[in-house]
């Protein structure tokens, strides 16, 4: 039986790993899970393992709340020790976090092959830590599982066909997760009732990217825009603990409703019932599409360019005026969401079958 070490540390990675872990088990692959601890809040971490029935991590490194260099360095050291102990045939990493890069680096130093799920994404903004993480991880990886044809094209333009690696258009595992967990969410989540919401009566907002949260003016502009929108539609924001700490320190006031972070099943219900999504999250942009909601992206660029090209998403950045104009545009827009942008919902099976043949 093949042994693979999976490295996760943040909410989007838990969602992706949940569905891929099922496929790995079905393919007869032994999986050892390392949780770096990058997201340490219970609602940002433990709840995902519980409600999504992900196998409990074999290792929890509890490395969090540090600057980028310190966090990545400590993860690299700790992951290396685990890999020496476990001696896997391959390390599987997801996305673009510090956990992703640390895992890929640790494996490569030990001559262990790396597979990168969600490879080839580019925002073309190298001031974003996530952009650096994904570029370096792609270069280290032996197998690049791309979620879209655009991601494949990005790698080809960068010359990856000349490197010793395998590029696979697997489709998006987030699509698999959305399909799998949607019905479970209907049965288990009561978030709509708890918040006393009704269908299409509110807009869902999230905010966590450092390009926004580390810039007081941008943060204030976004909160001002959301306050104005709250006069037209109720705004609900599950708030990342780090962002909550920053707005408290800056004394930013708001009239819209801020709630604690929610689990994936609750987030699906919020997505299903909202009238619009406003976010700086890459994953939530796609999830909005999966549940047929238009999205306003609170960034100047996106990795998911096909959503913008096809009119499901609009880039508003942090500019209050642009956010409000985008709301007027998107809230009344009608779109056909029946387009196959992210595969056929079997990306995880494609990944597991390929890994089983190595």
**Which mean pLDDT values do the consecutive 10-residue runs of the chain (358 residues) have?**
91 86 95 87 60 81 88 95 97 96 98 98 92 97 97 97 97 93 92 95 94 93 97 94 89 94 92 97 93 97 94 97 97 93 94 94
pLDDT of residue 50: 73
Question: Does this chain's domain 3-172+343-356 share its CATH topology with 181-331?
Answer: yes
Active-site amino acid positions: 208
- Backbone φ, ψ for residue 115 (5° rounding): -115, 130
**DSSP sequence for 61-110:** ----SS-HHHHHHHHHHHHHHHHHHH--SEEEEETTSHHHHHHHHHHHHT
**Cα(130)–Cα(107) distance, integer angstroms:** 19
**Cα(246)–Cα(59) distance, integer angstroms:** 30
Domain ranges of the chain: 3-172+343-356, 181-331
Contact 239, 258 (CB under 8 A): yes
**Cα(46)–Cα(247) distance, integer angstroms:** 25
pLDDT of residue 10: 83
Look up residue 279 and give its two tokens.
């976010």
pLDDT of residue 66: 84
Look up residue 81 and give its two tokens.
């020790």
Strand-pairing partners, residue 145, are 117, 168
Give the distance, in angstroms, between the CA of residue 191 and the centroid of all CA atoms in the same chain: 21
Distances, alpha carbon 218 to alpha carbons 200, 231, 239, in Å: 28, 21, 16
**DSSP sequence for 262-310:** --HHHHHHHHHH-SEEEES-HHHHHHHHHTT--EEESSS--S-HHHHHT
Quote the pTM value.
0.85
CATH code: domain 3-172+343-356 is 3.40.50.2000
Look up residue 60 and give its two tokens.
């929890």
Among 2, 78, 14, 77, which residue's Cα sits nearest to residue 40? Answer: 14
**DSSP sequence for 23-53:** HHHHTT-EEEEEE--SS-SGGGTHHHHHHTT
Give the CATH superfamily of 181-331.
Glycogen Phosphorylase B; (3.40.50.2000)
């Amino acid at each position: 039986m093949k042994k693979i070490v999976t490295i996760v540390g943040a909410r989007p990675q838990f969602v992706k790993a949940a569905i891929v872990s099922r496929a790995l088990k079905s393919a007869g692959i032994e999986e050892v899970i390392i949780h770096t601890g990058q997201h340490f809040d219970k609602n940002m971490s433990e709840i995902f393992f519980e409600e999504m029935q992900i196998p409990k991590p074999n290792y929890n490194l509890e490395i969090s709340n540090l600057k980028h260099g310190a966090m990545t360095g400590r993860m690299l050291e700790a992951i290396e020790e685990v890999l020496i102990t476990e001696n896997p045939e391959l390390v599987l990493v997801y996305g673009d976090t510090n956990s992703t890069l640390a895992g890929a680096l640790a494996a490569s130093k030990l001559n262990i092959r790396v597979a990168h799920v969600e490879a080839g994404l580019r925002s073309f903004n190298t001031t974003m830590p996530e952009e650096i993480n994904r570029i370096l991880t792609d270069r280290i990886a032996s197998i690049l599982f791309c979620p879209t044809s655009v991601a494949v094209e990005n790698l080809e333009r960068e010359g990856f066909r000349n490197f010793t690696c395998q590029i696979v258009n697997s489709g998006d595992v987030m699509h698999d997760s959305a399909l799998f967990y949607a019905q479970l969410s209907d049965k288990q989540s009561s978030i709509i009732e708890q918040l006393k919401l009704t269908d299409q009566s509110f807009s869902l907002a999230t905010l966590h990217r450092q390009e926004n949260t580390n810039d007081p003016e941008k943060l204030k502009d976004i909160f001002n825009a959301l306050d104005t929108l709250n006069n037209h539609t109720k705004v609900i924001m599950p708030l990342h603990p780090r962002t909550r700490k920053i707005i408290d320190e800056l004394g930013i006031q708001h009239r819209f409703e801020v709630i604690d972070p929610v689990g994936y099943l609750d987030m699906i219900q919020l997505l299903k019932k909202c009238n619009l999504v406003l976010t700086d999250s890459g994953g939530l942009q796609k999830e909005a599409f999966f549940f047929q909601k238009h999205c306003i992206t609170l960034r100047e660029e996106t990795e998911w360019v096909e959503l913008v090209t096809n009119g499901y998403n609009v880039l508003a950045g942090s500019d209050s005026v642009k956010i409000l104009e985008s709301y007027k545009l998107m809230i009344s827009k009608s779109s056909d969401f029946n387009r196959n942008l992210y595969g056929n919902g079997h990306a995880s099976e494609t990944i597991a079958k390929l890994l089983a043949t190595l």
